[in-house]
Structure 1
Amino acid sequence: MHMGRTFPLHTHVLALALGLVLLVGGLLAVIGQHLARDMMASVAQDLSLRINREVRGNLHLLLRPADMALRLLQEDELAEAGTLDERLRRLPAMRAVLTGSTALSSVYVGYGDGQFFFVRRLASDAERARFAAPADAAFLVQSIDRDGGVMRGRYLYFDKGLALLAESERPTYPRDFDPRHRDWFRHAPQAGQLSVTPPYLFFSDREVGVTLARRVAGKDVVVGADIRLHTLGEDLMRQRVTPGTRLALVDEQGRVMAQDDTSLMVTRSGPDDAPGLPTLGDLAHPAFAGQDKLVAAALAAPEGHLVRSFAADGENWLLSAAVLQLDESAAQLIVTAIPERELMALAHRQRDAALMVTALVLLIAVPLTWALARQIARPLRVLATEAEAIRRFNFGQVGVPRSRIREVAVLGDTMDGMRLTIRRFLELNTVVAGEPDFDSLLPRLLGETLSATRAQGGVLYLAADGHLAPAVTLDGEGRPLPETAPWAATDAEAGQPGQARAQGRSMVAARALGSVGPLMTAALAASAPRAAALTTHDLEALGLQAQATALGVSHAIAVPLLNRQDELVGAMLLLLDAPADDDRLAFIGALSGLAAVTLEARALIAAQKALFEALVRMVAGAIDAKSQHTGGHCARVPELARLLAQAACDARSGPYAGFSLDEGGWETLRIAAWLHDCGKITTPEYVVEKATKLHALYDRIHEVRMRFEVLKREAELRCLQDIIAGAEAAERRRRCDAELAVLDEEFAFVARCNQGVEAMAEADVARLHRIAGRTWTRTLDDRLGVSGEELARKLAEGEVALPCAEPVLADRAEHRVPRRPEDRFEEGNPWGFRMQAPHWQLDLGELHNLGVRYGTLTDEERYLINAHIIRTEIMLRQLPWPRHLVEVPEVAASHHEKMDGSGYPKGLDGTQMSLPARMIAVADIFEALTARDRPYKAGKTLSEALAIMARMAREGHVDPGLFALFLRSGSHLVYARRFMTEAQIDAVDIDALLAGFPAT
């Protein structure tokens, strides 16, 4: 399963450590940033409140002296003065008021009749220039007084000593300015109360400020004082917490009363183009741009305080607004804008310091963590190497370093245990798989189980017919237990893999499943291993008292062996000197499955092998039973081949001194010998059984005899017809009798030819053809009632009108059966066959069959018989032979080949034939010569058969070396005593027979 790219553990540990450091550092930085932002908002709020308090305190400091001055002026005789001169006499008092409060820029008195007395301090050249005052002017008096009923406006300039420096008339002044129309006059409360106007642009100098006013008791006179708010701006400048901080004092309408940077202060047009106060949005600073709605939001905020963040011109700002309540009439607000980078400078420095510390920690932690991670991962790397070795089935000891990590230590111990367990399983599996013999498998299986489980002894039982039969009993060293004896297989047990046939069979009889003791009964009931102390009942039930005493054991494990269908195939009893722990019990439970499957598999293999052997013998028996002419040939050839092969294996000198056959070789020879004639199952029975020349499915000589009977009847009929016609009766009868005698003699000749006992001469064949010239009259259609195949052959001759003359013997087209394409083997066929097949599959022509020179078989029939060897190889080649039996077809189908290459079906010579194939050829010929159960011939004596075979060996038909070995080893006598009659066993001069043969 592909899982993508992987990395070592120490890399993961390092990545985890670095990730944690970075995560913690990042979290601290993020949390610190958030806390700093929260702190920044809190600090901004605190700063705003502090500035608010300080500004409010400063304003009160500004207003309190002014209020005291107004109180004095309220009581001064200035309120009673009706002319300018009277008022000028009180100029020193007003100068004292102005010099006593630096915040006051002017003091004045407004009268109910429109007169106005205004004293201004000229503190700078700019002010003097604005009012066109002399250079040393310190005070300006602006006066509106009544002169003869006319309002007169005048500006009077005084120096610091109040000496008049200059005076100028201002005719438009009374018209442009009427104190009674000013807010400070109109809104001045009743006597005893101070009135403070909202900030506004002063009429006289266009400066922003506020007016403090008090009404004189009992008079329509208001005294007032102006305070320029630029002094507040200077105070606000001192409240800056950072260099970039901006502060502004605004009223409820958002108009700027004062700010820390007077250069940004602008004026705007009010109603009737009168100059007015700017709003926050009018200030030429990005921090205040677009903040016109801030005042309303701050006034609506809880506790009259608002803090917000925003960005302007690439700079983040923290903006706060706090309500500043100077009096009950109106509210003012302190607006503070602080750059976040300046406010957070300390936090940023702390963040940078934290990042530097984090980086330093990383620099120290990386190599340290890398080293520690590699040290921690080293046992895991070794364990991974061991796991990889186990995956490659390499179970050599790997030194696993000890680890102080508990999980790693446990994993190492577990890996060691797993490696040992798997190795034991594989070793047991290898041992079991490498044991091909079921007889030897049982003690090896038990012995390996005892070794793997470290048991002191054990018994292996096989289940059969509701009983447990002890098959093997061994001690821990693999030796048979006391009071045991070898178990020799009986004839009834031979070939039965389910029966135990191994050394160390217990002398105790098999026990029924219900009487095997409490421990084994519990294990069988649970279908799982059970461990317990051995009781007397267990030992008596299993008959193991002596064995338990000899081994000194007191505990045991009962292990049922179940196949894949959960059927009991056996059981094991493992004898121990101490109680079994859970690990051993679990291991034995797993091992029992292997043992059960092994027993079942080997039993199935043995059963399939026995079944195959039975099928082989059944086929051979069917071939022998098919024809009495072959008798028990297929059963005797394997015995002869075995004797000859054993003689070759036993040879210690000569050409066969190094010859040997393994188990597969013996099995190949045995099966090939049993099936060497299996192709005869396809040979037509009548061909094998053909005793006469006209024999097919029946002997057609009867048809020929009937035709001669017809000829005789026709001769008698002609005789009678001639006598009736007037011929001399005696002479005609004499001639008829002579004709009948000729017919009888001709039929007798045909009958003798049919027997095939004597060789046919050319004269005999010619006479047959003369006899065939006789005809008889057929009046019935010979196409009626025949098979479709035969009808097709008759139609090929054409239709003949009836009655017609028929020859007494004939070769007709209907007698010839065409050869099928699959029965033709042309040159270069894939099988390598070189047999020349006749044109016709069968030729049943009467003259063709009767004219056979020797024997009874035509060329077509002889080919059919010989072709059994072709069918043998084709049939055997089509079977899926296992690897150790792949030579069976070649060994079985080569017994008609000859040493000189003149045999069939492939024309192989001796060098192309395997030794087992040549052995079967010798066995096949010897059995055929000596067989005594052939109905067509008597079995030859031993000397006759061997003489014929000696000639065949000299002529290159059979292997002379094997023939000589057959004689010199005495195998011929062993076979003769078992399968030949005493009359057939005569004296044999081996030296004479083998004269000139190679030594063996």
Structure 2
Amino acid sequence: MAVFDRQLARKECCMSLERAPLTRKMRFKIPLHVLAATGSSLVLLTLAALLAWQAYSDTRKILLSSVDESVQHIAIMMKTQVRQMLDPAEGQLDLLSHQNLARADSLAERLAELPTAQSILSANALLDAVYVGYPNGEFILFRRLRDATVRRVFRAPQEAHLLVQTQTLVGGKMQGEYRFYDQRNRLIKQQKRDNYTFDPRERPWYREAAASKESVIIDPYVYFTTRAVGTTLAKRSSEGAVFGLDVTLRDIDAQLTDLRITASSHVAVVDSRNRLLARDNGEPTYSVDENGEAHLRQVEEAGVPPIVAASALSGAGVQRAHKKAEGKDWEVISAPVPLRAEGKALRVLIAVPHDELFHEARQLLRRQLIIALALLAASIVAGIWVVRRITLPLRQLAEDTKRVAGFDFSTREMHSSRISEVDLLAKATQQMKSTIARFLEVSAALNSETRLERLLQEVLNDVAETAQAISGALYLVDEPSEGLTRMLRFGDNVDSLDDIYPLLLNDQTQAQHPGYRVIQARRSVTARASEAAPELVAVPLKTLGDTLIGVLTLELPERALPHGQGDSRLAFVEALASTAAVAIETRHLIEDQKNLLEAMIQLVAGAIDAQSPYTGGHCQRVPELTKLLVRAAHDAQQGPFAEFRLSDEDWEAVHVGAWLHDCGKVTTPEYVVDKATKLETVCNRIHEIRTRFEVLKRDAEIHYWRSRSQGTSDEAAWAELQAKWQAIDTDFAFVAECNVGGEFLGEDKVARLRAIAQRAWMRTLDDRLGLSRDELRRLEKVPPRALPAVESVLADKPEHLVERMPEEDMHHYAEHGFRIKVPAYKFNRGELYNLSISRGTLTEEERFIINDHIVQTIVMLEHMPFPKHLRQVPEIAGGHHERMDGRGYPRGLKREEMSVAARVMAIADVFEALTAADRPYKAPKTLSDSLLIMANMVRDAHLDADLFELFLRSGICHVYADRYMMAAQIDQVDIEAVIRLATDSQLSDEERKALIQSICDTARGATATA
């Protein structure tokens, strides 16, 4: 029924290609360009907006130009003001440097120049002090006491008008003094100031002036006494004395308020190091530290972000930029104010808010925009009727387009439009929806099919039904014959097609066959054998790489594909054929990859079985048994596995995991796996020990002949020789017996081995000759012994210990979550150590190497880039040596931590090992013996009890036995007794023994007894 519904939907979708429903026919159509004139109003509005913006921009430019002119004026004015402060001071400094102060050697001579200093200070109100520093460190300063702050600092008498600060060398020691004078230069008070001592030669004004022939200007700073901001002018006289004048910059503050361009503007003056000298708000530009010293603030400390932004401007001349600060737009300006014609300069920083600067421009723009909006409103009212008439069908098309975007391809009636282009668009949209719907339906069907045969049938059916074909056939390229092979057919007339056009086999006589012509032209072709014959269309199946993989041949009704403008259905069929070709090629690739993976798996498993004659067929039989038991769990309808189900992908994971469960064995050395005797490595070292015993016998014989030559009794010496030979033979026979490793080796035998090891033999050849690099490396720590050397016939030597590589230490295993004990050495080849093995032939180190194969299996598989559905392969393959109680290896997992497939692997691995008949070192066990052993393993929580019971009740053990076990191994098994023995934890020892006896009796065919 579902197939019928799907075919019906296909036919309805195909029919929709030929109809595009509209509600009513319009008598005439209006071209869209007729309505283009309605856009003129919008053009006018756009032009008005552009003109308004242009006017606004021009106004901004005018205002900015005005700002530039104002800044230029401010810079000139500030420069003039600064020069008015500094030029008189420079003249006075030059005059002062030629006075007697420069030549005065004594304090009296210097004080005699008091009137001169008084007249200089009185002539320039901006001067705070006049001072002179001498090359010997002496100093004199004349300071006018002009305000209360200075008087308070120096504690000046009330009538004092002038302060003279001196420091003079007296008796080789500098002595400081303060002298206060009134307006008539009469001394009022004289104080010795021992704490008033400093070296003027270390001051910046002295150093800079001493290094220059001209007067210098020091960077502005805060005067210690007056806290006024000023600078120092200094000049060196020809006699070497340096004169200095302190010039305050206090008048600059009063001018800054008048320099504001707008009410909210900010103005500041900074020096070359961005230190504040003056601000428009009159706030202090300095700060006082904890020592009481005043320092000019950096501009960042003023707390005015626009001024900080202005200070960041660099470059010569006036600089202006647009900055964002305090959430507003600002125009920031930096204008230099040179202190002299060359050299140091101050900078005037101005920040003007845009909302004030461009207020008038924005008012103009606002008025123009209001006019433009009024025009726009009138245009909207006038054009709304036209727009509504135009947009109604377009809105419907937009809604349909949204539905298409949401993968809704259902058809509905639409209003037609008088605009011809809109009407054509509506019809095209309807056709597009139908085409896309059909294409997506077919593509989804193709992509959802995973089996190649069914996919090919889907391709043929979908394409044939879409094209409304009478019949059709699908050919695939046959690479060996370089021709086409028909794979599938559609309809009832396909046989007649091949009668007209026989199967193509790369024969030139088939040149008229459509498939042949497709191969030649690599495009769709049409053909007709005769006027009465149906029309045939052949469409190539090409992949994305333009590789031809097949041909679709369709028989179409007469005039199904009209010539001229072409048929949209043909293009649709070609698009479907291309999609189908990609799907087919993808399935081919997937099949090829699976086949390649399967071949690699078989190759690895075969190589492992071929590596050792003792495990032949193991890797082939375990997967078969695993899949049998997993299938039984999958098919269970009740019990613990009633809910256990596997998908096709899960089955693939089980298959791969089972075949690769022992892939780590490729890393296990053969001589370890095949070790038949305790002393065997690559060869059996018993031969080396036999030679030593032969040497002992030769030594005894030599001793005999020597004693005879010395006159010893013939009979006594001969009897002694026979006794020695007998003892040596006996000891070697015991060593050889221990080497075989058949029975348990007790402590008494180990003690005898140690006693035999006391026998010594003489070595006369260097034991380091002819060794490999690794053997020599193990002997590096062992000092060579002088020859001849006496050695034991059995020994554990340091060179017998083979170190483990760094990547093989226990931390490496712990990082991967493996809970196994790692031996200290990779190999211990000590002779006594190996011969003392209590059971079997393997040492602890060799047994670890063999057990390590499961570790290597997990590591190898976890490093393989398995696809998502095979990510469980390492867990399935690597869990068959785990135990249900967590005492297995390598990770010590418990039952609940293992998947069902991993637990099945453990049962399959054990059962195959017990029943295998291709192990030359052991006889194969019977079916009953194997199940008894496994029952005990279940009781010991080694194997899963539920799976073991399923293994028995489902009869899988007998299915496997019939396939892979010898007839002599297959005996009678009491299944219920074995299950009870494995799962009943309440059995007493007597009941358990009786149950075992019953199972054994059943196996022998005897009557069971209580």
What residue in structure 2 maps to residue 823 of structure 1?
808
SS in 1 for 2:839: coil
Say if 1:535 and 1:861 are closer, same or farther in 2 by CA, change over 3 A: farther
Measured in 1, the distance between the counterparts of 2:518 and 2:495 equals: 26
Q: Structure 2: which 5+ runs fail to align?
A: 1-31, 50-371, 985-1010
CA-to-partner distance for each residue in 1:304-348, whole Å, 9 max, x for gaps? xxxxxxxxxxxxxxxxxxxxxxxxxxxxxxxxxxxxxxxxxxxxx
Measured in 2, the distance between the counterparts of 1:765 and 1:842 equals: 20
* 1:512 aligned onto 2:505: yes
What residue in structure 2 maps to residue 432 of structure 1?
446
How far off its partner does 1:396 sit?
4.2
What residue in structure 2 maps to residue 955 of structure 1?
940
| 1:17/1:369 contact within 8 Å kept | no
SS in 1 for 2:549: strand
| 1:523/1:529 contact within 8 Å kept | yes
How far off its partner does 1:448 sit?
2.2
* 1:593 aligned onto 2:578: yes
What residue in structure 2 maps to residue 175 of structure 1?
none
* 1:468 aligned onto 2:484: yes
* 1:929 aligned onto 2:922: no
| 2:472/2:494 contact within 8 Å kept | no
Measured in 1, the distance between the counterparts of 2:652 and 2:394 equals: 53
* 1:911 aligned onto 2:934: no
Say if 1:613 and 1:722 are closer, same or farther in 2 by CA, change over 3 A: same
Say if 1:997 and 1:24 are closer, same or farther in 2 by CA, change over 3 A: closer
CA-to-partner distance for each residue in 1:377-405, whole Å, 9 max, x for gaps? 33334334444444454434465432222
What residue in structure 2 maps to residue 571 of structure 1?
551
Tell me the TM-score normalised to structure 2 length.
0.58
SS in 2 for 1:693: coil
Q: Which moved more, 1:735-744 or 1:427-436?
A: 427-436
What residue in structure 2 maps to residue 988 of structure 1?
973
Listed as ranges, the matches of 1:409-448 within 5 Å are 409-448=423-462
| 2:876/2:899 contact within 8 Å kept | yes
Identify which of 510, 519, 522 aligns with 1:527.
522
Measured in 2, the distance between the counterparts of 1:790 and 1:374 equals: 98
| 2:518/2:551 contact within 8 Å kept | no
Measured in 2, the distance between the counterparts of 1:430 and 1:657 equals: 34
- The alignment-based identity, stated in percent, is 44
Measured in 2, the distance between the counterparts of 1:588 and 1:797 equals: 84
* 1:377 aligned onto 2:373: no
Measured in 2, the distance between the counterparts of 1:536 and 1:712 equals: 110
| 1:14/1:369 contact within 8 Å kept | no
How far off its partner does 1:825 sit?
3.2
Measured in 2, the distance between the counterparts of 1:819 and 1:25 equals: 89
SS in 1 for 2:887: coil
What residue in structure 1 maps to residue 219 of structure 2?
none
Say if 1:930 and 1:975 are closer, same or farther in 2 by CA, change over 3 A: same
Measured in 2, the distance between the counterparts of 1:535 and 1:949 equals: 78
Listed as ranges, the matches of 1:954-973 within 5 Å are 954-973=939-958
SS in 2 for 1:569: strand
| 1:768/1:847 contact within 8 Å kept | yes
Say if 1:749 and 1:536 are closer, same or farther in 2 by CA, change over 3 A: farther
SS in 1 for 2:837: coil
* 1:836 aligned onto 2:831: no
| 1:13/1:373 contact within 8 Å kept | no
Measured in 2, the distance between the counterparts of 1:636 and 1:785 equals: 45
Structure 1 letter corresponding to 2:539: V
| 1:772/1:808 contact within 8 Å kept | yes
What residue in structure 1 maps to residue 683 of structure 2?
698
Structure 1 letter corresponding to 2:656: I
Measured in 2, the distance between the counterparts of 1:804 and 1:615 equals: 55
| 2:484/2:504 contact within 8 Å kept | yes
Measured in 2, the distance between the counterparts of 1:531 and 1:830 equals: 67
CA-to-partner distance for each residue in 1:404-445, whole Å, 9 max, x for gaps? 222222222223323332333322222122112223211122
CA-to-partner distance for each residue in 1:796-840, whole Å, 9 max, x for gaps? 121211110111011111111112232223499332110111111
Quick check: which has more Rg, 1 or 2?
Answer: 1
SS in 1 for 2:415: coil
Measured in 2, the distance between the counterparts of 1:981 and 1:446 equals: 51
Measured in 1, the distance between the counterparts of 2:537 and 2:930 equals: 66
| 2:882/2:894 contact within 8 Å kept | yes
Measured in 2, the distance between the counterparts of 1:481 and 1:945 equals: 63
SS in 2 for 1:773: coil
Say if 1:585 and 1:808 are closer, same or farther in 2 by CA, change over 3 A: same
What residue in structure 2 maps to residue 582 of structure 1?
567
Measured in 1, the distance between the counterparts of 2:494 and 2:514 equals: 22
Measured in 2, the distance between the counterparts of 1:660 and 1:942 equals: 29
| 2:938/2:983 contact within 8 Å kept | no
Measured in 1, the distance between the counterparts of 2:879 and 2:391 equals: 69
Identify which of 938, 959, 975 aligns with 2:960.
975
What residue in structure 2 maps to residue 276 of structure 1?
none
SS in 2 for 1:841: strand
Tell me the TM-score normalised to structure 1 length.
0.59
Taking only aligned residues, the RMSD between alpha carbons, in angstroms, comes to 3.1
Measured in 2, the distance between the counterparts of 1:399 and 1:890 equals: 59
What residue in structure 2 maps to residue 368 of structure 1?
382
Listed as ranges, the matches of 1:169-188 within 5 Å are none
| 2:514/2:553 contact within 8 Å kept | no
Aligned residue-pair number: 621
How far off its partner does 1:775 sit?
1.2
| 1:679/1:875 contact within 8 Å kept | yes
Runs of 4+ that moved beyond 6 A: 12-15, 21-26, 358-364, 480-484
| 1:529/1:585 contact within 8 Å kept | no
Say if 1:826 and 1:430 are closer, same or farther in 2 by CA, change over 3 A: same
Structure 1 letter corresponding to 2:850: I
How far off its partner does 1:708 sit?
0.7
| 2:760/2:792 contact within 8 Å kept | yes
* 1:453 aligned onto 2:467: yes
Listed as ranges, the matches of 1:30-429 within 5 Å are 366-397=380-411, 400-429=414-443
| 2:528/2:536 contact within 8 Å kept | yes
Measured in 2, the distance between the counterparts of 1:781 and 1:766 equals: 31
How far off its partner does 1:562 sit?
2.4
| 1:14/1:373 contact within 8 Å kept | no
Measured in 1, the distance between the counterparts of 2:882 and 2:828 equals: 27
How far off its partner does 1:364 sit?
6.4
SS in 2 for 1:817: strand
SS in 2 for 1:691: coil
Measured in 2, the distance between the counterparts of 1:696 and 1:828 equals: 26
What residue in structure 2 maps to residue 659 of structure 1?
644
